[in-house]
Every structure is written in structure tokens, then in C-alpha cells.
């Protein structure tokens, strides 16, 4: 089976990948955590805080390509426990890996954003740009600190409710059988059967009634004999389903250290309702508190892939419905999957950042 690639090629990008950082470092934020940050663009420009996905993903210079480097001060950081931040959940030392999950909650990530703002001298409101889990964290941050947000630019909306997680991780796992092919339950598995088979078969049939919990039982044991296998299956499943046309090279998702951090941190958050107003997996925190964003009159831009099966469109529709009559919301649906690097989504995000009101900074 072959597909035409959907990922943006070099000619699709308006701005080059930066080859030099304006600044970088590790910022101590408490409980032994140091978050890695790096900065690009114009030091005197409009600050934009980039919040990566996962949770448990990471940042790279390529993510600075959405922004005009003359106009924006582009700030990226790796969230607790992942990427280049220290300690890492991917550590081969079980004690270090466990320490990376200590005080690793949404409240702590929000506090880290505030600490980084202060460290970098960002005084006024800033643009907050996040996709997938980054959209979750962006919304949670704006609810907590609305005065610090000038604009929300969100991609691949993830509200982190139980039904959102069930669509992606649970599907028909409870009754899954490769022979009968029960398709009575909605889910991502309908579109990616090969990837789903690998993901499901890591878990023994008796435990497939709650896939997130079943994986948690493996991830919580740093010495579990199938830890790496489970982490890779979890990570590659997301990679396999992220693009409009499946990527042939999923090696970055299968890379052992990345897979361990990505899978274990995601599962840690999902088992606890993403720590949104508590640890209830049945929470609806973001929509219940969306009024804070509306009251602050924060402009919101939503870019959603029509064919996103990681964070399917019904989540973006729900967020739009909660905000559309109360604040300025621009909703763009692209011919794309989940990835920020799918061609049409990458172009839409760049266009939004170019058209935001405000002068091009000099320098």
C-alpha cells in the first residue's frame, strides 16, 4: 500500500529553519527539575511561547519555522521529564526515571511557563502557540493566567476528556478480534488497522477493557520485562496515525529514549485526567472554564485537520461552540491529519502568525 506524502516539503515553508539560537539553557524549577529552553528570532520582537505536544514530546528548531524571525521572539522549551529537560523519564536508572515524574502535573507545567517568562524578562502578554497536548496546556495556562496571554493559536484540539482518550486508545480493544473485525465502536482503529493490531496485542485480552490502565501497569514498573516493547508500541501508534498520509519512516517515534519518555509521561497524565482541576479521568475542565478566556477577550485561532484521528475534529467543534459567541474565534479546517507538519496545517499556522495584528519589530 502506498501513499503520496502529506508532510510539508522545503518549498512549502515560508521561513527557513534557524541555524542559530538567540539563547538557550536549563532553568531550575524545583523538585530537582531543570527545563531546557531555546530561543530564536528577534530578541526585541513580540514574544510567542511554543508549547509542544505529548505530554512527553519535545521541541526542535524546525518548530520555529511557523514564525517570522524578524517579527517574533520565539521561545520553546521541553516540558518536565522529556526532551533535553532533566531528569528524564527515559533514564535507564529507575530512580532517575521515577524522579522525572515527581511533581510533574499540569499545575507544575503552568508554573514552569511563568518561571520561564520571568527568567527571560517577558513582561506583558504573549502569544501562546500549542498543538495537540500543547493546545490543552495553552488553554489551561490561559484559564489560569489570562492577563499573560495576548493570543491563543491552537492546533489539533485536545480536551483530554475520557471520550477523547477512548476514541484513540480504547476503540474496540475490549472485543478486538482480527478475524471478526467488530467495528461497532467508533475510534481511530477504523482508519489504521495495522497500527491498531500492534498496539492492542501488547496487552493480554483480559486487560483490554481499559487500555490506558493496562499500559500504566507496565509503565509504572521501571524493571518490567516488556517496558520498552510497550513504550515503543504506544509511541509508534501515535506516529502511525498522525499524518494525512502515513509516514514511511517512524524511526523517531521508535527511538528507545524518546518512546520511553513520550509513552510513560502521556500515560501518567492520562491516568490522572491530565491533572486538570484534579485527577478525575472524567473531567471536562477546559470547556467548563472556557468562560475565563471569553471574559478576558483573548482572540483564539483554531487550526484543525479535517482528517485528524489522534485528536478528531469533534473536540475542536466543541471548543469553538463554547467560545464563538463570547470572544473572537477564527476556526480553520485544513485538508490534513494531526501533525503540525502536514502541509496544509503548516501553511495555515504560518499564515495566521503573519496576519496577527501588530507591527513588525525592528532589529
- Indicate which residue of 85, 338, 339, 342 is catalytic: 338
> Is 127 considered catalytic here?
no
**Among the options 6, 91, 132, 339, which is catalytic?**
132
Catalytic annotation present for 308: yes
33 counts as catalytic: no
Quickly tell me which residue has 478475524 as its cell: 179
Q: Rounded to whole angstroms, how far apart are CA atoms 251 and 82?
A: 18
Q: Name the active-site residue from 78, 166, 308, 318.
A: 308
d(CA 68, CA 127): 13
Q: Cite the active site residues.
A: 132, 308, 338
Amino acid at each position: 500500500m502506498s501513499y503520496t506524502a502529506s508532510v510539508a516539503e522545503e518549498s512549502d515553508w515560508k521561513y527557513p529553519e534557524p541555524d542559530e539560537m538567540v539563547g538557550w539553557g536549563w532553568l531550575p524549577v524545583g523538585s530537582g527539575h531543570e527545563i531546557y529552553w531555546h530561543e530564536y528570532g528577534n530578541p526585541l520582537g513580540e514574544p510567542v511561547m511554543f508549547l509542544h505536544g505529548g505530554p512527553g514530546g519535545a521541541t526542535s528548531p524546525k518548530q520555529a519555522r511557523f514564525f517570522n524571525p524578524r517579527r517574533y521572539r520565539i521561545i520553546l522549551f521541553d516540558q518536565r521529564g522529556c526532551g533535553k529537560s532533566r531528569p528524564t523519564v527515559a533514564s535507564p536508572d529507575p530512580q532517575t526515571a521515577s524522579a522525572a515524574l515527581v511533581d510533574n502535573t499540569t499545575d507544575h507545567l503552568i508554573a514552569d511557563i511563568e518561571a520561564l517568562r520571568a527568567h527571560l524578562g517577558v513582561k506583558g502578554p504573549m502569544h501562546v502557540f500549542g498543538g495537540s497536548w500543547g493546545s490543552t496546556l495553552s488553554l489551561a495556562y490561559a484559564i489560569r493566567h489570562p492577563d499573560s496571554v495576548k493570543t491563543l493559536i491552537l492546533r489539533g484540539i485536545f480536551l483530554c476528556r475520557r471520550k477523547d482518550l477512548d476514541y484513540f486508545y480504547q476503540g474496540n480493544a475490549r472485543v478486538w478480534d482480527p478475524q471478526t473485525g467488530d467495528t461497532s465502536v467508533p475510534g481511530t482503529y477504523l482508519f489504521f488497522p495495522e497500527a491498531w493490531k500492534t498496539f492492542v496485542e501488547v496487552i493480554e485480552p483480559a486487560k483490554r477493557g481499559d487500555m490506558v490502565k493496562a499500559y500504566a501497569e507496565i509503565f509504572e514498573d521501571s524493571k518490567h520485562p516488556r517496558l520498552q516493547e510497550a513504550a515503543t508500541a504506544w509511541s509508534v501508534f501515535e506516529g502511525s496515525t498522525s499524518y494525512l498520509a502515513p509516514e514511511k519512516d517512524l524511526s523517531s517515534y521508535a527511538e528507545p529514549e524518546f518512546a520511553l519518555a513520550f509513552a510513560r509521561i502521556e500515560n501518567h497524565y492520562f491516568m490522572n485526567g491530565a491533572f486538570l482541576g484534579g485527577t478525575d479521568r472524567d473531567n471536562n475542565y477546559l470547556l467548563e472554564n472556557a468562560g475565563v478566556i471569553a471574559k478576558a477577550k483573548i482572540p483564539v485561532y483554531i487550526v484543525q485537520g479535517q482528517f485528524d484521528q489522534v485528536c478528531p475534529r469533534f473536540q475542536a467543534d466543541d471548543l469553538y461552540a463554547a467560545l464563538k459567541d463570547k470572544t473572537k474565534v477564527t476556526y480553520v479546517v485544513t485538508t490534513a491529519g494531526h501533525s503540525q507538519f502536514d502541509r496544509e496545517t503548516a501553511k495555515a499556522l504560518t499564515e495566521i502568525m503573519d496576519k496577527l495584528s501588530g507591527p513588525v519589530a525592528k532589529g
